[in-house]
A and B are shown apart, each in its own frame.
Chain A
Amino acid sequence: MLKVEHVTKYYGDFCAVDDLSFEVKPGEIFGLLGVNGAGKTTTFRMIMGLLDITKGNITLDGEKIDYNVTDKIGFLTEERSLLTKLTVMEQAIFYGTLKSMSRQQIESRLDDLLEKFEVSEYKYKKIKELSKGNQQKIQFILAVLNKPKLLILDEPFSGLDPFNVEMFKKEIIEMSKEGSMIIFSSHRMEHVELFCKKLVILLHGKSVLAGELKKIKESYQKKNIVINGDVAVADLKDIKGVLEVKEEANDIVVKIASKEVVPAVFKVVSKKKNITKFVVEEPSLNEIFIEKVGESYDK
């Protein structure tokens, strides 16, 4: 289990992470969210031992994270961290050996992953000759090369098309099923919602929301009602407890202050003609994020 306990990090007088705590158990996928500069990368770097912690404690299975346990960790940085002059094979041997893998283990695992990600033909190509998306695939392959117990993914989906995002998702879920602990940050809220059971939202280094996603959503008062039919927007706006009414494609989305407002909306809508849809939805993670952080995470 990864335990982050009351961790604080100062850069001079600037507090980058303030008393952050969370736990990730084997098989869990954990989301670390926040706008740029919120302290996500600093947190990842502290977990990896790249930065000294000012205060607090980080342990993996009860042990302090140092160079004796880094072989069990996989790390994908936000920016490309590939030595572009090397071939994919050379790069894998380089990173794999640093993870104490034998050459045979590296080659065998690399072949499997290249095949899985449909990039076997790039094995002997130089990294710099690959497209941005393929470089990201190689970077991901290298991060999971050692079948890590703890996998840290900083913006793993950047630069990927939807088809490749699916490949990544499949592999991440598979790894979590095999017992890996996975922490990731993403700008794509739908991915966070899809993967993460637990998350932390950071604002200026502080945790503003933490816990299980399901409980967070349940505890969130505001709901959305999606309506399709001959309903005038003005009729809905006048209802007490309605916060906002928006037209999205063929639907009308009504934001309400709490689920107690639903009967009042239903009463108005039921009198209208051609009603084909009336769905009460949980708010999206992005809406919760905006509420808590004050700005959108989707950039």
Chain B
Amino acid sequence: MSVQTARPGDPSGLLRPGFAEPTLDAQRCFRILLDAMAHPGRIAELPVAIEPPPGLMAASAALCLTLLDAETPFWLDPAAAGAEAAAWLRFHCGCPLAADSRQAAFALVAGTAPDLTRFAEGDDLAPEASATLIWQVERLEESGPLVLTGPGIERKRALGLAPLAEGFLEAWAANGALFPCGLDLVLVCGGRLAALPRTTRIARRETDGED
């Protein structure tokens, strides 16, 4: 009986608000992401209260609002989020949702090991055209079996993340070998995030000490 867009149950009819202060919140989140990218593996907290749509974690939602606009095709892992998240992204970010993951400038993935080969890695003329992945994980901490080295890390840094599939370290090494091309990764867990730019090398600690 009511007008179409207001039909109860229609995903677009149950939209949630975005940032409370769109400009300031986006600037704050961008600054934090920038710092996280400069310090790979360091965990940062996004200081914004946000009610994410189903399937998105708070920090992923905040990153989407910060990074996406009409010029950034976004690929949403169907395993991670459904129609309501897609409607939310379209409404608040105005971003095109790419059907083909290779077209995406940003992508949201979930699960044990994202398939890094299905995204654009850029080319030698435009390595910046590679995709940035937002990977939602269930556990993220600054201690654990992974050892990070590379630019932005003085000696080495420990990282724990779960779930983590075996093949991921090899896939990440292959991604690093593409330099200057390659994907950048942002790990997200709840409201926290840590960045793994393409230059960061990940190894598993030799002696399985703590964890």
Specify whether A and B are partners: no
Interface residues of A, Cβ cutoff 8 Å to B: none
Interface residues of B, Cβ cutoff 8 Å to A: none
